[in-house]
Chain A
Amino acid sequence: MTSMLSISQLAKKFGGLQALGGIDFQVDEGEIVSVIGPNGAGKTTFFNAISGMLPSTGSSDHRPVPDTGSIVFRGNDITSLPPSDITKLGIARTFQNVRLFPNMTVLENAMVAQHCRTSKGVWATIFQTPSFRREEESIERRAKEVLDFFGTRLAGYRHEQPAFMLSYANRRRLEIARAIATDPALVLLDEPTAGMNPKETLELTGLITRMRDELGLTVVLIEHAMPVVRDVSDRVVVLDHGVQIAEGSYEDVSTNEDVIEAYLGRDAEATS
């Protein structure tokens, strides 16, 4: 069986800095894979490359693409596609620094994410055709369904609250909900538990597993909290300085010499 996502020799340079130095990476359908590594290892850049959102580097007004390498998702080469097309093919993501639509309501955040799965345009809207009404209803129903996945956290009166009013943890949840609402096959979570207290972290750990078991999603997450990594991951990939330095089960990786050195070494550098 070929992998759902297969990446080969992915590289990206920012000025003189090799943020990604030729990464090979595979994810199979139904897997939960953690990507870990010290700060600045290139994890977020890796996600940005997959989702077509590499930051533009000044001069060129073309959308930035990886320097080399290819990203193939379910048989489609997505290396240089725009983010909206990638989302349409079934990859959704969240952001390390939560990026909701803050002034839209919770419900609207979940509704707008279904844009690429729906189709009604100007005419249908103006003439309020039955199919338009049906589609609006189904968008709303689906949004509520997705929000209900988080129990009471995002339900009830919160539907009508603007997103900026949510607590930090709820914003993270809503971002995940929004990603799920795009109806993806693969979800990329960038540090989903950052800033959460231990209890909330535990809850989210369960949620990630449920995303796979109940929603049939494949999940790749970047995570610093080792307990989360241990509890959810089928497989762990360790990046440092833009290259993969280890891969395997949590036990393998956590005892790997290189990994320990990468973390400690970086710490030593930081303190010196």
Chain B
Amino acid sequence: MATVVESALPGPELAKAAPNPAKIARRGLLGGLVGAFVIAIGMFQTFDGRILIVPVLSLGFVALYWVPVLFGFLASSDLRAPSDPGGRPSVAQVAVGASTGALAGAAVWLFGLIFSTGSLSDIFIRLTERASELLTFGRGFGFALIVLVGGWALLGAIGGALAGASPRLRHALVGAVVWTFGAAVLELVVEDVLDEVGLSFVSRFLYEINGGMKIPGAIVVMVLAGLASWAFRGGFSRARTRIRNLEGPARRKYGLIGGAGALVVIVVLPMLLGSLVNELLANVALFLLMGLGLNIVIGYAGLLDLGYVAFFAVGAYTTAILTSPISPRFAPMLTLDFTTIDGWIIFGTVLLAATLAGILIGTPVIRMRGDYLAIVTLGFGEIVRILFLSDWLAPTFGGAQGVRQIPPAELGLVGVEIAGINPQSIVYFVAVFVVIAVYVSYRLSKSRLGRAWSALREDESVAEAMGIDTVKVKLLAFVIGAILASFAGMVFAVKVGSVFPNSFALLVSIIVLVVVIVGGMGNIPGVAVGALVLIGVLGGPTQPGVLQEFQEFKLLIYGALLVFMMLKRPEGLLPSVRRSRELHQDEFLQDAWLDPADATESDEDRA
């Protein structure tokens, strides 16, 4: 094969790195390892139950067969000189991709052969007969060798070719696949929306009644998505940069249009969705609300708070105690009715409790910096949960039993009841608080306080030397974050109808943090995207997402996603301008240096 590779390198392409067998072997084996891992933890087998395209493709196969494509792509990217814009994939690239894929396939095959003897099933209980049957298509390992080596070589070659393709073509192909995959995975949502708006013939065309896409539907989506990606390549990010670079009133106009559009979506969307999807949306909105609060604490003020769930719990328990008829010690049985004084008393109490909790937890920890703050807040988060669980406070908070029978919230005059059994009402309920949170975040970010937070995040000692009372300013961020979380807690109590200490585990803090990080710290739309992608698709700590099959692998995927983001895109999916500056300062500087028009020029020439 080496001869093929060498002869495929004509003169001018010598600038490209030559294929390196050791590297290919490493990539191939790594791919094999990832594939074996996917099988060993049972993803392949479990996801096989979810048919994406009837009858040819299940989620299980996607979960396994992306491996050769990706690793072929990576191996072949090594060959491209950084300056090479890409055009036509070279034979070398395709060959490298194919050999990587074949190697990975062979490794997976070998793994299959080993576990089919049953020798590994003590450790990996998912490695059952069924697993080997799926892997071999029920036709024995001879056949599997052909598929895994030959088929994976082909997939690897595709990945390799993709790496050499022109960016535009690559974009179109990836777009086609991603959109089709999305349409198949989000069947529940898409079908729901299409049916509600009277386009059920479209959903009949796209999906089987029993779930899964029809082949013609999949092809149409793929072609349309591919064409659209081809046509609009980079259009979105170009538009975004253009809007970002606008000044003053023009920028404001776009901001207003965007805000109005978002409001319309918030009002209209829940009407278009069935209760199942509305339930998902309610969870997304709930975590979005918490994400927005945490974004103020960590994204704006730079305080890494890992005990954020404590305030969520305070809001939920306060609501529970005030409204539940069977709250242990104290049952005033107020109704959370915002058209009467009762509702506002509860609201005010929640606000007050959150403020007090924020000050109480904040004051001792706020003087610490960085990692210390993270660890101590983490401790406080657990302390709060354990207090609610404790026998000592059980007479008030019910201990492990929690507080149950929390009645629905109401708008008595209008005759609207907001309860968990009607997820649509919950969506609207949270949406109100989300809108408030967005507005507050936006206003604060462009104010005296917002600037003080930025300064604090960049250099705390200097901020203090510039006259900023750091303790006070930090505490404010902490308390505002606490209040927003307590609102989420209030909604949560109404939604679920009962609160238990277990609902407020550390995991909640971590997932909210991941939402903020993956979405884009310091950026409001970023947090929204993070909540949508993570909570909507994967699901919250106890709440299922669209991919209910992911339930048991959720934390794994969360972790993998977090690692991936930290490596490849630490600023998040939709970063704030400032944060990407912080992370890419050197690149900015280099660019500025190359472009003398707005640069770090010496001042001589302007003097």
Taking the complex as formed, is B585 at the interface, i.e. its CB lies under 8 A from any CB of chain A? yes
In the bound assembly, the distance between CA atoms of A101 and B451 in angstroms comes to 10
Do A165 and B454 contact each other (CB < 8 Å), given the known contacts A101-B459, A116-B467, A125-B448? no
The answer, among A88, A125, A162, for a CB contact under 8 Å with B443, is A125
Q: Which residues, 414 to 441 on B, are CB-close (under 8 Å) to A?
A: 439-440
Taking the complex as formed, is B469 at the interface, i.e. its CB lies under 8 A from any CB of chain A? yes
Q: Which of B581, B582, B603 has the most CB of A within 10 A?
A: B603
Chain A interface, number of residues (Cβ within 8 angstroms):
53
A165 near B589 with CB under 8 A, answer yes
**Closest B-chain residue to A48, C-beta based?**
B465
A99 near B464 with CB under 8 A, answer no
A87 near B447 with CB under 8 A, answer no
A102 near B458 with CB under 8 A, answer yes
**Closest B-chain residue to A55, C-beta based?**
B461
Stretch in contact with the other chain, from B148-156, B161-169, B201-209, B594-602:
B594-602
Q: Which residues, 105 to 144 on A, are CB-close (under 8 Å) to B?
A: 108, 111-113, 115-118, 120-122, 125-126, 128, 132, 135-136, 139
**Closest B-chain residue to A183, C-beta based?**
B467
In the bound assembly, the distance between CA atoms of A105 and B455 in angstroms comes to 11
Could you say which residues of chain B place their CB within 8 Å of the CB of A38?
A: none
A87 near B585 with CB under 8 A, answer no
A108 near B607 with CB under 8 A, answer no
Taking the complex as formed, is B578 at the interface, i.e. its CB lies under 8 A from any CB of chain A? yes
Measured CB to CB, the closest approach of chain A to B324, in angstroms, equals: 31
The answer, among B447, B465, B592, for a CB contact under 8 Å with A120, is B447
In the bound assembly, the distance between CA atoms of A225 and B497 in angstroms comes to 73
Could you say which residues of chain B place their CB within 8 Å of the CB of A122?
A: 444, 449, 476, 480
Taking the complex as formed, is B84 at the interface, i.e. its CB lies under 8 A from any CB of chain A? no
A125 near B447 with CB under 8 A, answer yes
Taking the complex as formed, is B468 at the interface, i.e. its CB lies under 8 A from any CB of chain A? yes
What is the predominant secondary structure among interface residues of chain B facing chain A? helix
In the bound assembly, the distance between CA atoms of A203 and B592 in angstroms comes to 26
B601 near A167 with CB under 8 A, answer yes
Taking the complex as formed, is B59 at the interface, i.e. its CB lies under 8 A from any CB of chain A? no
Could you say which residues of chain B place their CB within 8 Å of the CB of A113?
A: 466-467
Taking the complex as formed, is A25 at the interface, i.e. its CB lies under 8 A from any CB of chain B? no
A84 near B448 with CB under 8 A, answer no
Taking the complex as formed, is B552 at the interface, i.e. its CB lies under 8 A from any CB of chain A? no
A165 near B600 with CB under 8 A, answer yes
The answer, among A52, A61, A99, for a CB contact under 8 Å with B462, is A99
Binary contact readout B571-607 vs A (1 if CB under 8 angstroms, 0 otherwise): 0000000100110010011001000001111111011
Do A136 and B447 contact each other (CB < 8 Å), given the known contacts A101-B458, A112-B454, A157-B598? yes
A104 near B454 with CB under 8 A, answer yes
Do A135 and B451 contact each other (CB < 8 Å), given the known contacts A84-B469, A84-B470, A170-B603? no
Could you say which residues of chain B place their CB within 8 Å of the CB of A100?
A: 462
A84 near B464 with CB under 8 A, answer yes
Taking the complex as formed, is B316 at the interface, i.e. its CB lies under 8 A from any CB of chain A? no
In the bound assembly, the distance between CA atoms of A254 and B66 in angstroms comes to 76
Taking the complex as formed, is A235 at the interface, i.e. its CB lies under 8 A from any CB of chain B? no
A162 near B581 with CB under 8 A, answer yes
Measured CB to CB, the closest approach of chain A to B493, in angstroms, equals: 25
Binary contact readout B504-539 vs A (1 if CB under 8 angstroms, 0 otherwise): 000000000000000000000000000000000000
In the bound assembly, the distance between CA atoms of A178 and B439 in angstroms comes to 30
B464 near A83 with CB under 8 A, answer yes
A126 near B464 with CB under 8 A, answer no
Measured CB to CB, the closest approach of chain B to A45, in angstroms, equals: 15
In the bound assembly, the distance between CA atoms of A87 and B470 in angstroms comes to 13
B470 near A153 with CB under 8 A, answer no
Measured CB to CB, the closest approach of chain B to A177, in angstroms, equals: 12
A120 near B448 with CB under 8 A, answer yes
In the bound assembly, the distance between CA atoms of A125 and B473 in angstroms comes to 14
Do A111 and B449 contact each other (CB < 8 Å), given the known contacts A53-B461, A128-B443? no
Could you say which residues of chain B place their CB within 8 Å of the CB of A162?
A: 581, 588
Taking the complex as formed, is B144 at the interface, i.e. its CB lies under 8 A from any CB of chain A? no
Taking the complex as formed, is B452 at the interface, i.e. its CB lies under 8 A from any CB of chain A? yes
**Closest B-chain residue to A132, C-beta based?**
B447
In the bound assembly, the distance between CA atoms of A139 and B387 in angstroms comes to 46
Do A83 and B454 contact each other (CB < 8 Å), given the known contacts A103-B578, A122-B480, A125-B444? no
B443 near A178 with CB under 8 A, answer no
Measured CB to CB, the closest approach of chain B to A207, in angstroms, equals: 13
In the bound assembly, the distance between CA atoms of A187 and B38 in angstroms comes to 64
B603 near A167 with CB under 8 A, answer yes
Measured CB to CB, the closest approach of chain B to A257, in angstroms, equals: 37
Residues of A that sit less than 8 Å from B by CB: 51-53, 61, 82-84, 87-88, 92-93, 95, 99-104, 108, 111-113, 115-118, 120-122, 125-126, 128, 132, 135-136, 139, 152-153, 157, 161-162, 164-167, 169-170, 178, 182, 197, 199-200, 203
Q: Would you give 21 A-B contacts (Cβ < 8 Å), ordered by A? A: A84-B468, A84-B469, A92-B466, A101-B458, A101-B463, A102-B585, A108-B451, A112-B452, A112-B454, A116-B468, A120-B448, A122-B480, A125-B447, A126-B443, A128-B443, A132-B447, A164-B589, A165-B600, A169-B603, A178-B466, A200-B603
Other A-B contacts than A53-B465, A83-B465, A108-B454, 20 sampled, CB-CB below 8 A, are A53-B464, A83-B461, A84-B465, A103-B578, A103-B582, A112-B451, A112-B455, A116-B466, A117-B467, A121-B449, A121-B476, A125-B443, A125-B444, A135-B448, A153-B603, A162-B581, A162-B588, A165-B598, A167-B603, A203-B607
**Closest 7 A/B residue pairs (Cβ):** A116-B467, A87-B467, A112-B451, A125-B447, A101-B458, A83-B465, A83-B464
